[in-house]
Structure 1
C-alpha cells in the first residue's frame, strides 16, 4: 500500500477502536481527499481490502458508509464481495470492532487525530447566539456543582432549541455545540450587556440561570443538518424529560455523540473571547481534530470549507435599497444588491455574511436556489467555480454595477439570466469531468 492508503487504513482503525462506523466525508477531510463523497476512493479502498485479506485481518473498509447509513452502499459492496465473497456484512463489521488495532504495528491508529475522550452533554436554550451568550446557566449552585462533578473541562454541550420558545424554524432541533470550561461565575459576566438587559426585561427569564459556567468555543450546525432532538439523541432525550434536560443537562452516549460528529458545522465567536475563529464549513469531527492548513483569504468575505458537493447561490439584501445606497428610489427601481458564490450550505453562508452586519432594517436572504434541493448538485468546488465565474462574467458583461468585492447591483431579469448561465456552466463542467473519467 502507498502512504495515502495507509493513512486511510489508520483512520478507519482509529474509528474501529471506538466501535464506530465512519463516512466518506470524514475520511476525505481526515486525509485531504478532494472528493469527500467518495468519488475516486474506490481504487484505494480495494487495495486496502486486499492488503487486509492477505494478512488475515478483518475488512476495515466495511465500516465506511454513506452519511446516515449502517452498511456500505451497493457499489462499495461490489468491491467487498469481489475480494471476500458473499459475506455477512453485519458480522464483518463486528469482527472489525472486536480486534485491538493497536496490536497491528503498521495500522496502529493515531488516536490523537480524533475528538474522542470528550464528553458530550445535551441541554436546551431558547435560541443559539454564543456571540452574546457565552455560557450555560443553572438555577442554583447545587445543579451547577452536580454538572461540574460529572463533567470535565472541554466537554461539548449540544444545544437544541426548546419546543415552546425560540425561533420557530429552530424549535425542537439541535442547532449548535458549545465547548464548556470549568470556569464559573455569575451569568452576567458571560453575557453581553444588551442581551443581559433583554433577558432581565422578560418576565419568563428574569433572575434565572444565574449560576453560570463559561463557554470557550462554539460551532453552529449548518441549517441543512439540523436534526430533531429526538431523532439525533433518542436515548438521551427520551431517557429524561425536557424540563430536566433544560435545567441540568444530560450526558450523551458515545454512539449518539458519533452522530453529532458527522454533522457539518462552522465555528462562531463566543462572548468575551478574543481568539480568532475558523469559519470553515466541515464536520464537527474535523473541527475538533488537528487540521491541515486552510489557505488564507484571497478575496473579501472569503471563508473556507472542505471540498465536496456544492450548491451555487445568489444572496439578496432585503430592505430599502435606495436608502442603503444613498440614492433616489427611482434610480434603483426593480434592482437588488446581490452576492453570488458557491457553498456546501447557502444558508450557512448567508448567516456568516449576516453576522458581519449590525442588526437593523436590512437582512440577507438566499434568493437562489429556491427551493434548495436536498443534495448539492455539483460534485466539487472545481465544478462550482465554473458556475460562479459564469455568473460574474454575465453580470459584468450585461452591465450590473459592481459595488465592491463580490457584491453587485442588478435588475430582476439579469439576476435570472445569471442564474441560468451559472447553472449551465456548472452542469457543463460536471458533464465534461464525468466524460473524462468515464469515456465512452
Structure 2
C-alpha cells in the first residue's frame, strides 16, 4: 500500500461500517474514506420492515452505533458510478473521483421495483432504505383501503404482519404455493400460511399480479393472472433484491445482479478468473465459495454475515501475505404473526426435512433440513432452545438428522421439503450461480 490514497470503502452500510471499524481495530492508521449513495450515516435495516412500519420506531432512530473512532472522510449522498482499476479510482455521481490503494466493496443490494404495468403510479412502495420505510410508514398511517403485498418472501411476510397489527386489510399475492417457499419449502411454509390466514391475511398463492391500475395517478386496482381483480389503496412490492453492482459494469470484475464474485479470501475476481489483490467485498453484494456448502457460490443477505465477512475482509486486506478463507454458517431471524422464527444454514437444495422438536400442529417446532444424508440447515418456530446444538452439527456436516433421542423429542417426522423449481436469474453471461435470499 502506498499510504497516499489509503483505503476506500464503497457502501455506507452495516458491512461498510463494520469493515472500517475492523481496519482501525486491526491497526490501520492511514487515510480512510467511506462512500455512500444515501445522505445518512450507516443504519440498521432489519427494523425497517418490522418496528418502523409498525410505528414503534422512527426511521431516523435506526442509526448504527460506531464502536471505535474511525477518523474517516465521509462522502455521503453521491453514489459510486464507475471503477477504474488501472487508475485505482472510484467515480462518483457528483463528477468527482476518489483514489484508493485498497478498496472494500460493501454496496449491498437494492429493492427490486415493480416491473410491470402501473409502475409509475402513486401508492406503490418498496422497503429497503430508510427513506423508503419512512414514506411507507406515513402512507400506512393514513391508509384506509386494502394493502396489496406482491411477494411472499421474508420482507413481504413481515410487512403483512405489520399491516394486520395496524388493523389494515391485507392481500398477499405470491406465485409459490406457500409463503417463504423458496427459503423454507412448502412443507414448513404451509404452517406459516395457516398462521397468516388465521391473522386475517387474504393469501393468494399460485398466482401473480399482471398489472396495477390507477385513477388520478394513484393505484386503485390490481389484476391477477388468474383473472381476479382486487381493489387496493396501497401496494408494497416485495420482489426480492438486486445486488448493487451496476457501477462495476466496466471494471473488468466478475459482477452482475447476483453479486460481485470473490475468492475464499473475499478478494474480488476479475473476468479472467484471477483475484484483484487490492479489491475486497463483504456483505449482501459479495458472492463467495462457502466451504461449509462444498464451495458453492453463495450471496447471503443476512445481518450476521455482513458483520463477520466485513471483519474477515478487513483482516485479509491488512495481511495480504497470509489470507484466510472465509467460512460462515448463515443465520437469520424474523418476528411475524406472533412467531419468533430463527434459522441457521441454507435450506435450498435440501431433499428432506424432519420435525425433531415440537409439532407443526401446535405451531411450535424445530425442523432440520438434509441433503444427501447430511444436515444443512435448521429452523425454529418458537422452539429455539435446541437450535445452537443443531447449528454446531450443521457446521461440521453431521448426518441427517444429527440428534436422536433428545429430551422431549417426538417421533421424528421426515418429509420432502417441497421447494419450488429454481428460478433462472439473468446476468451479463446468461445465468447466475445459486444465491441465498432467505
Q: TM-score, normalised by structure 2?
A: 0.31
Larger strand fraction of residues: 2
Larger Rg over CA atoms:
1
Higher relative helix content: 1
